[in-house]
Amino acid sequence: MTVLHRAGFVDISGSNCYAVRVIMMAREATVAVTGASGMLGQEVCASAPGWATVVALTRADADLSLPEQARRAIASARPDIVVHCAAYTSVDGATADPEAARLGNEVATRNVAAVCGDTGARLLFVSTDYVFAGASDRPYTEDSMPSPVNMYGFTKLAAEVEAMKVARHLIVRTQWLFGAGGGSFVASILRAARAGKSLRVVQDEIGHPTYAPDLAQGLWRLLETPAEGIVHLTNTGVCSRLELAQAAVAEAGLGDTPISGIPSSEWPSETARPLCAVLESTRLQRLGIAPLRHWREALRDYVAILQERWQEQAND
């Protein structure tokens, strides 16, 4: 368990008096972050505002699928807020091992929610576009009816149901997460491109690429409002997996990489995936929160970080 005190984060770029609202609403609070060593959890801890004392919880602190371990780890932090980033995230892995996915998503969230219910802590649970079928020609809003098509989506939807049992709950659905703190589609594409491989990328899967640092800051903004229920939060802009791959290799200076688009039916996976689960938020504007920046700007920052790492590795 790691306790972190962070400098304040105030966004004054918008025209919605966000900074003024933060000053008026912010108070000191203890925030327990589960999955703190994961891609998103790292960014949530790193971008905590000044009012938050963060208690970073990792798998080493507790197996959240075990009720007593979850209770001991979270209750000992005495949190006012729990940001539940820990999850079983392997989509194909969930198909191969449904029980592992159920434990990591549904059961772990049930246990975290139970502690929040007993202690009165506010719960923010991070969910996914995979709760939707992705068969609609319209974006999914917070009021759209979930209908997952694979085991990963089923376990995340079941986890949402568990989170809803907490009186003060906030469920944030996001999509196509990438960042420097873990593996992602973008990272896989760039590794293959740097290795000189030709790429075959699905061209009929559409969504919002979302940068983990941007999402993390968005979560803190939400926590500085009284928001409850479900909120969709992604970077701005929609693209296909193919377009994302093309943009990534271009940003990395690997634009000569051969990339061919293929239909999802040709991708070697036994897992059905939502093809067009574009998330749209009807709540951010009402909450006075500006949308996250365009995914292309975020991708540029991410690739720059990766290039620094590659240069350091080359110099070692």
In the predicted model, is pLDDT for residue 123 greater than 80?
yes
Confidence of residue 3 (pLDDT cuts 50, 70, 90): low
Domain positions in the chain are: 2-175+212-237+273-293
Report how far Cα 248 is from the mean position of its chain's Cα atoms: 19
DSSP reduced 3-state for 199: strand
Handedness of CA 56, 33, 4, 90 (dihedral sign): positive
Residue 2, pLDDT score: 65
Specify burial of residue 7 (Cβ count, 10 A radius: 0-12, 13-18, 19+).
exposed
Please report, rounded to a whole number, the percentage of residues in the chain having pLDDT higher than 90.
86
Q: How far apart are CA 86 and CA 90, in angstroms?
A: 12
**Looking at the domain 2-175+212-237+273-293, which fold is it?**
Rossmann fold (3.40.50)
Residue 4, pLDDT score: 54
Q: How far apart are CA 213 and CA 206, in angstroms?
A: 22
77: tokens are 């932090």
Q: How far apart are CA 291 and CA 16, in angstroms?
A: 12
Handedness of CA 82, 52, 219, 303 (dihedral sign): negative
Tens of pLDDT, residues 272-296: 999 999 999 999 999 999 999 999 9
Q: How far apart are CA 245 and CA 254, in angstroms?
A: 11
Residue 315, pLDDT score: 86
Confidence of residue 300 (pLDDT cuts 50, 70, 90): very high
Beta strands 239-240; 177-178: pairing state: unpaired
Handedness of CA 73, 77, 79, 81 (dihedral sign): negative
Residues labelled as active-site residues: 152
- Helices 39-46 and 212-223 pack at an angle, to 10 degrees, of 50
Residue 43, pLDDT score: 98
In the predicted model, is pLDDT for residue 297 greater than 60?
yes
When pLDDT is averaged across residues 195-215 and rounded to a whole number, the result is 97
Residue 17, pLDDT score: 39
pTM above 0.85, yes or no: yes
Beta bridge partners of 239: 207
The residue ranking higher by pLDDT, 312 or 70, is: 70
In the predicted model, is pLDDT for residue 13 greater than 70?
no
The mean pLDDT value of the chain amounts to 92
When pLDDT is averaged across residues 205-209 and rounded to a whole number, the result is 98
